[in-house]
Amino acid sequence: MSIAENLTDIRAQIAQLEHANQRPSGAVRLLAVSKTKPVADLEAAYEAGQRCFGENYVQEAVEKHAALAHLTDIEWHFIGPLQSNKAKAVAQTMDWIHSVDREKIALRLSENRPQDMAPLNVLIQVNLSGEASKSGVSLDEIASMAELVNSLPSLTLRGLMAIPAPQVDEASQREVYRPLTQAFLELSQRYDHIDTLSIGMSDDLSAAIASGSTMVRVGTAIFGARNYG
Ligand SMILES: *Cc1c(COP(=O)(O)O)cnc(C)c1O
């Protein structure tokens, strides 16, 4: 199957899940996760109407951003773990970051955001599984991280992101998401501009969309298997 055909399939799957969960049509955006894939694959997806791309590695993200600078309506999302010494490169190139989980990173991103760019859209990454991933704040820490991000002039807090540990079935996947859905609701009551819950990958789209996802991050099902990453 081609990238265009894969995109058609995923879009249909998302539309069907929106409908099944009484979500409005278009409530869930599709982020194409293009890490490790060549620029030609991003161009193919772009040709097929895809505009939001997610990258995990800073160097690779910066190179692809430069290679595709002529496609000015691409929305670039950085979704990988970020070291503070690379925050500047992200601040200078990306439109969104999904993986803010430390004060130092938030400060560096804001300090290094060029004045002539719109504020960087920020999602706070939440660790739902405790041990499975070292990235992300705990549920208890969301409030203080949100307050910090919200106070920084060159960042706009848009919501939350999570990568839960794999579960055995959809019921368990939904169970893991439940406190995150609640935390997202609370955040949206407290701050303006909160509209993005980034959950759902190739393996748990159904549970994520049932749990209120507004952005699913799909790589393999669009671009095929990766050799690394
Ligand atoms: C790689 C990655 C994805 C996409 O995973 P697939 O299994 O290829 O769909 C989504 N989110 C994050 C944070 C990733 O690193």
CATH number at residue 67: 3.20.20.10
162 in a domain, yes or no? yes
Nearest residue to 207 via CA among 24, 21, 79: 21
Whether 147 is in a domain gets the answer yes
Burial string for 8-46 (b: 16+ CB within 10 Å, else e) reads eebeebbeebbeeeebeeebbbbbbbbbbbeeebbebbb
Does the beta carbon of 56 lie inside 6 Å of ligand 1?
yes
Does the beta carbon of 161 lie inside 6 Å of ligand 1?
no
Task: Tell me the residue range of the domain where 23 lies.
Answer: 3-223
Q: Is the CB of 218 under 6 A from ligand 1?
A: yes
Position 37 in a domain: yes
Chunked into runs of 10 residues, the chain (229 residues) has average pLDDT values of 96 98 97 98 98 98 98 98 96 98 98 98 92 82 98 98 94 97 98 97 95 97 83
CA distances in angstroms from 50 to 82, 107, 159, listed in the order given: 25, 31, 22
pTM over cut 0.85 = yes
Instruction: Report pLDDT for 201.
Output: 94
User: Could you give the 3-state DSSP secondary structure of residue 216?
Assistant: strand
Asked if the structure places residue 211 within a domain, the reply is: yes
Q: What is the distance in A from the centroid of ligand 1 to the CA of 202?
A: 8
Residue 229 maps to a domain? no
The total number of structural domains that make up the chain = 1
